[in-house]
Amino acid sequence: PISRIRAKGRNIRVIVRVRPPSNREQGENFSNVLKIVDDSTIVFDPKEENVPFFYHGVQQRYRNLTKRPNKNLQFTFDRVFSHEACNNDVFECTTKELIKTLMNGYNCSAFVYGATGAGKTHTMLGRGDDPGIIFLTMRELFKQKDELSQERHFEIEVTYLEVYNETVKDLLNPGPALELRENGQYGVIVAGIQVHRIDKSEKLFDLLEQGNKNRTQHPTDANEESSRSHAIFQVCLRMKIISTNEIRLAKLSMIDLAGSENGAATGYSGARFTEGVNINKSLLALGNYINGLAHKQRYVPYRDSKLTRLLKDSLGDNCQTVMIANVSPSSLSYEDTYNTLRYAIRVKSI
């Protein structure tokens, strides 16, 4: 028997993370377009120009370089993180909370959303001295697994795939495109994907690094290491409660979404433009799908993209979702930041 315990509280949370300004953004032409008011409130393009913002002890200004009227828009999210937050701070308030839900047998998902260069991959994967939330989440999962080992028997399997141009590829076993199939028992499955059983977080670093090398990357004008693919890391948890023989299945999906920048605005053309369109289409489909669920629409259009098909059973009523919207503080990314905050608030106002 598979039992499910109702998840409590709202099932989607939206967090904004502002990354530190890059070297380039700290030059003469830098101006900060974000003001964090408190833990959950952020102002885009604030009016006041005299509010000091310090970065590495140097006061930066909210200069209006374009002389256009300031938008001065205030947004409230479940949480806002400044450039001072490390990945562990983000983890503590996002995916750490999902683990309890997962242990109760519910599917969960975590997305990082934002333009290329906004800090999505840094949040997911991080680096040696600041590991990302995938690693921190898995470490916590293994810790809780060990604590429960007297009561439960666990099997943990992971897969890592990418969706690029509506094509699904196994990042841990590169090869031809994989098909999605509907399966009565498991929902949508990826036929032929390689599944890795792991029981320690140490092995994960190598696995992720190996997978990331296989991601499809094309240089664009916007950013040399632009990533136009969605990378999906999935953890399948099978738990057997020893005293009752009850079996609980749960899946955690962590998704590094493709850059949300507008294809047309970043100078793509020809083949690259089609990519841009496909990416926007799937991000649009994702937003529509989440919105449809929220409004209890009878028909929620998950068939619109591979991304929503893959995540159909990880979003919605019996699932818990967190979206981390990554933004740059710089006026150089003015439009991207504005669009990201608007997308994120639309997801939140559910």
Residues that bind ligand ADP (CB under 6 A): 19-20, 114, 116-122, 227, 326
Nearer to ligand ADP, 46 or 117 (CB): 117
Residue 119, contacted partner among Mg ion, ligand ADP, none, CB below 5-8 A by kind = ligand ADP
Helices (H) and strands (E) in the chain, counts: 8, 18
Backbone dihedral region of 296: left (phi > 0), alpha (psi from -120 to 50 degrees) or beta? Answer: left
Q: Which of 38, 123, 32 is nearest to 76 (CA)?
A: 38
Nearer to Mg ion, 202 or 224 (CB): 224
Nearer to Mg ion, 111 or 142 (CB): 111
Exposed e or buried b per residue across 110-126, where buried means at least 16 C-beta atoms within 10 angstroms of its C-beta: bbbbbbbbbbbbbbbbb
The least CB distance from residue 202 to Mg ion, in Å, is 24
Residue 337, contacted partner among Mg ion, ligand ADP, none, CB below 5-8 A by kind = none
Verify binding: residue 87, Mg ion, rule CB under 5 A: no
Residues 227-286 that bind Mg ion (CB under 5 A): 227
| Binding segment toward Mg ion, per CB under 5 A, in 15-23, 120-128, 163-171, 176-184 | 120-128
The least CB distance from residue 131 to Mg ion, in Å, is 16
Nearer to ligand ADP, 170 or 336 (CB): 336
The least CB distance from residue 270 to ligand ADP, in Å, is 22
d(CA 328, CA 22): 9
Q: Helices marked H in 295-318 — which ranges?
A: 306-311
Nearer to Mg ion, 11 or 121 (CB): 121
Nearer to Mg ion, 251 or 272 (CB): 272
d(CA 154, CA 145): 7
Amino acid (one-letter) located at 209: E
The least CB distance from residue 162 to ligand ADP, in Å, is 13
Verify binding: residue 121, Mg ion, rule CB under 5 A: yes
| Binding segment toward Mg ion, per CB under 5 A, in 25-33, 112-120, 163-171, 192-200 | 112-120
Q: Which regions of the chain does DSSP assign to beta strands (E)?
A: 12-18, 34-38, 41-44, 53-55, 58-60, 73-76, 79-81, 108-113, 126-127, 130-131, 152-164, 167-170, 180-183, 187-190, 196-197, 230-241, 246-256, 320-327
The least CB distance from residue 124 to Mg ion, in Å, is 8
